[in-house]
Amino acid sequence: MTPLEKKGVTIVVFSGELDRALAAFNIANAAASMDLPVTMFFTFWGLNVIKKEEGKVGSGGWMKRMMNVLNRGGAKRLKLSRMNMGGMGTAMMKKLMAGHNIPSLREMIEMASGLGVRMVACTTSMALMGLSEEDFIPEVREFVGAATYVGDALDSEVNLFI
Amino acid sequence: MTPLEKKGVTIVVFSGELDRALAAFNIANAAASMDLPVTMFFTFWGLNVIKKEEGKVGSGGWMKRMMNVLNRGGAKRLKLSRMNMGGMGTAMMKKLMAGHNIPSLREMIEMASGLGVRMVACTTSMALMGLSEEDFIPEVREFVGAATYVGDALDSEVNLFI
Amino acid sequence: MTPLEKKGVTIVVFSGELDRALAAFNIANAAASMDLPVTMFFTFWGLNVIKKEEGKVGSGGWMKRMMNVLNRGGAKRLKLSRMNMGGMGTAMMKKLMAGHNIPSLREMIEMASGLGVRMVACTTSMALMGLSEEDFIPEVREFVGAATYVGDALDSEVNLFI
């Protein structure tokens, strides 16, 4: 691989908010449509984006159970970082998106999967939150640590933290 | 262009808060002063940073109108992400900046324009918020989608999401 | 240095929240363990991460003093960006981390220093907040402006804004 050929995009998805998740998948899908390799590394609150909607409420002690109650997660449950207004702002944003034929977050995740975007969960955050591999949507197939992320980022041209 | 010559900075400005906007323009202007090509891609709440101050309250349905009332925007109206304290923290920060001869956000935007920083607005976010080209300050001349951003980012050495 | 050899990581630490600081040091330490040069550029609220815990309350006028009272800083005082819940969520997160033998932020900072991570404070933000070099932990030895950061970022493969 020559330097000029070194291409690709990595995105650390740290945030668990609807607007930031939409931005992450919008960039990821645009890049994947251009045939670029894309890796999304979900960590901390970002794990909420890729949790199964039924979610389990947790295992391993009351603190983790409580963490999971407060972080039910699942693409449908995420809220806006601003103007949530008790859910009203978030509902409004979803309506506006549908009215403009902008795909929902769940549809964007499916699209990303179809386009070959790698979705990877951070094992350190998983341990902290008492989550295991089966707690995530099936599109997430790899579970890695920060060193793997850094290796991927070094091989990519564009690296973002969202 | 040889790999070593591939230079430049892109900044996705997703946030509509004063402190983050200041950080974005501070980096953009420092890079542009070093004769690097710089592109700022304003999306989502970031559109508030580059809206005209008189702003229109919207068109196309009550939801968009409401979005625009809640997002009046304009560089002078932005608030701090922390310690806003009903506007007092933001006013204090502006005083401190003036006291240290740090330019205001509005001045930084003018400086950026003079230094040739490209300011670009995201068309998907514009549609969502019911905004059109004339709603933005004249320094913003291009209106593009995520694919154009990804192309620019691939050609740049430093890519940030703020 | 050939292009293929141009490696390294820079991280702008803009946020002063515990979770984001942990993410920044987690990536920094992973990269430094792989023998990559790493520079962390602390700016705005991020200065709170590297302030001495005893912190001084300020100098130069009541506005700066107030800023410093509200931004006591020091790695032990940082709060989570979400679910702080009056300090309970932050305390819980710290307990969970200790239970998983995940180092505390203070330990991560020491580790970073031992691994040769460069920790640099932004002089513009320091002026704004009325801070001087002796207000920071001894691991911070350089005090620079945005232009120096941009220069470092151009020489690095991975550049993040956290």
User: Which tens digits make up the pLDDT trace of B110-148?
Assistant: 999 999 999 999 999 998 888 999 999 999 999 999 999
- A159 to chain B: which residues are within 8 Å by CB? 159
Predicted pLDDT at A55: 55
Determine which of B158, B159, B161 to mutate to test the interface with C (most C C-beta atoms within 10 Å).
B158
Q: Look at residues C85, C93, C91, C51 and name the one whose alpha carbon lies nearest to residue C68.
A: C51
| Closest CB to C83 among A70, A127, A153 | A70
- On whether the A9-161 domain is CATH 3.30.2010.10, my answer is no
Q: What's the pTM? A: 0.89
| Closest CB to A150 among C34, C89, C97 | C34
Place C6 in a pLDDT band, splitting at 50, 70 and 90. Answer: low
Q: What are phi and psi of B69, to 5 degrees?
A: -65, -40
Question: Is the Cβ pair B20, C43 closer than 8 Å?
Answer: no
Looking at residues C128-152, what average pLDDT do you find?
A: 94
Which pair of tokens denotes residue C148? 């120096």
- Could you give the CA distance from residue C66 to residue A4 in angstroms, rounded to a whole number? 51
Percent of chain A with pLDDT over 70: 87
| Closest CB to C154 among B33, B97, B158 | B158
Looking at residues C108-133, what average pLDDT do you find?
A: 94
Positive/negative CA dihedral, A14, A19, A22, A26: negative
- C4 to chain A: which residues are within 8 Å by CB? 3
Question: Is the Cβ pair B150, A30 closer than 8 Å?
Answer: yes
- A3 to chain B: which residues are within 8 Å by CB? 3
- Could you give the CA distance from residue A159 to residue C160 in angstroms, rounded to a whole number? 7
- Could you give the CA distance from residue A105 to residue B90 in angstroms, rounded to a whole number? 33
Phi-psi region for residue C83, left (φ > 0), alpha (ψ -120 to 50) or beta? left
Q: With a cut of 60, say whether residue A1 has pLDDT above it.
A: no
Q: With a cut of 90, say whether residue B162 has pLDDT above it.
A: yes
A157 vs chain B: nearest CA distance in angstroms? 6
Predicted pLDDT at A2: 42
- Higher pLDDT: C31 or A75? It is C31
Per-residue pLDDT tens digits for B6-62:
589 999 999 999 999 999 999 999 999 999 999 999 999 999 999 998 655 555 677
Which pair of tokens denotes residue B55? 């702003």
Nearest residue of chain B to residue C43 (CA atoms): B23
Between chain A and chain C, the number of residue pairs with CB atoms below 8 A apart is 68
Q: Look at residues A74, A56, A39, A63 and name the one whose alpha carbon lies nearest to residue A132.
A: A56
Tokens 């232009």 found at: C147
- C161 to chain B: which residues are within 8 Å by CB? 23, 160-162
Average pLDDT, chain A: 87
Determine which of B2, B26, B33, B102 to mutate to test the interface with C (most C C-beta atoms within 10 Å).
B26
Question: Is the Cβ pair C66, B96 closer than 8 Å?
Answer: no
Nearest residue of chain C to residue A149 (CA atoms): C27
Looking at residues C21-45, what average pLDDT do you find?
A: 96
Q: With a cut of 80, say whether residue C68 has pLDDT above it.
A: no
Domain boundaries, chain C: 9-161
Question: Is the Cβ pair C147, B30 closer than 8 Å?
Answer: yes
Tokens 């068309």 found at: B123
DSSP string, A107-153: HHHHHHHHTT-EEEEEHHHHHHHT--GGGB-TTEEEEE-HHHHHHHH
Per-residue pLDDT tens digits for B61-109:
777 776 676 677 788 888 888 777 777 778 878 888 888 888 899 999 9
Nearest residue of chain C to residue A124 (CA atoms): C102
